[in-house]
């Protein structure tokens, strides 16, 4: 249990730092969306790296089974969503806002840069934490950090399809729930992401987040950078674009005409009987 207690302490420390940064820095400068996205990505990556450690090593170094991994993952995603309301740390979500003409080019580019910078910071903080070797699990992780295990366990095309399908399911759900309260939306999406990770763990781990995948698996050997980019960047982008098209019937940045739903068909008023039909009846 020492390993689990240490991991919980790490999670709490990361959450406190993220919440403090969100409160002090972002609320003082609400227009700095890129900074909020950077903090959200940092919080998500720093916690997911520890979840990955529990998943890879915890079972035989700390007695922590898959149930602990899934529980910690669900809690990490839920807490991150509760603290970082309005931002996600996910480049796919940012690009969706751009495709819907909700954000401009400069704001989008700054948010994307902030997300990847936050992911890199989370990777550095997790590495510093592992080097402290507070438990046997973290000592082994520190020794293995130079040769991490890739999350991409299938060919690139299959991995791209897996990430695209996972992104499609996630973004369709997020679009369907976006008018619901955060109290309902956050745990439901966290539960969906946990389920996608469980189903896709033998394929790509279904990160559905290019910045998260960059931090968790791009540094691992076994595949080239272009293969990782195809799977973890192009896959989620394709799934997100398809989800937006299926939900709205168009992509507002490119065209405004609804190609899937006809307003006449959806809102057709019932036809009344003609005068001749009334007389005959």
Distance CA 111, CA 88 (A): 10
Predicted confidence (pLDDT) at residue 210 exceeds the cutoff of 70: yes
pLDDT, mean over the chain: 87
pLDDT of residue 152: 95
What is the number of other CB atoms lying within 10 angstroms of the CB of residue 7? 25
Predicted confidence (pLDDT) at residue 241 exceeds the cutoff of 60: yes
**pTM, to two decimals:** 0.88
pLDDT of residue 266: 45
Scored b (16 or more CB within 10 A) or e, 111-142 reads: bbebbbbbbbbbbebbeebbeeebbebbbbbb
């Amino acid at each position: 249990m020492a390993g689990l207690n240490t991991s919980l302490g790490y999670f709490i420390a990361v959450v406190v730092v993220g919440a403090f940064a969100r409160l002090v820095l972002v609320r003082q400068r609400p227009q700095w969306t890129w900074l909020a996205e950077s903090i959200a990505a940092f919080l998500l990556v720093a916690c997911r790296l520890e979840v990955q450690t529990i998943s890879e090593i915890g079972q035989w170094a700390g007695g922590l089974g898959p149930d602990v991994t899934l529980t910690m993952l669900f809690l990490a995603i839920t807490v991150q969503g509760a603290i970082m309301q309005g931002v996600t740390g996910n480049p796919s979500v940012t690009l969706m806002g751009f495709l819907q003409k909700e954000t401009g080019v400069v704001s989008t580019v700054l948010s994307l840069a902030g997300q990847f910078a936050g992911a890199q910071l989370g990777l550095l903080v997790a590495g510093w934490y592992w080097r402290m070797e507070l438990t046997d699990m973290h000592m082994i992780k520190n020794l293995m950090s130079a040769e991490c295990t890739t999350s991409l366990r299938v060919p690139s095309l299959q991995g791209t399809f897996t990430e695209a399908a996972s992104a499609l399911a996630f973004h369709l759900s997020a679009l369907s729930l976006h008018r619901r309260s955060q109290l309902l939306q956050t745990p439901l999406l966290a539960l969906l992401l946990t389920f996608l990770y469980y189903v896709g763990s033998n394929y790509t781990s279904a990160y559905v987040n290019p910045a998260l995948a960059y931090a968790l698996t791009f540094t691992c050997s076994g595949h080239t950078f272009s293969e990782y980019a195809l799977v973890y960047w192009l896959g989620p982008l394709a799934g997100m674009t398809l989800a937006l098209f299926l939900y709205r019937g168009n992509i507002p940045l490119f065209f405004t005409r609804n190609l899937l739903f006809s307003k006449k068909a959806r809102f057709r008023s019932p036809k009344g009987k003609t005068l001749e039909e009334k007389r005959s009846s």
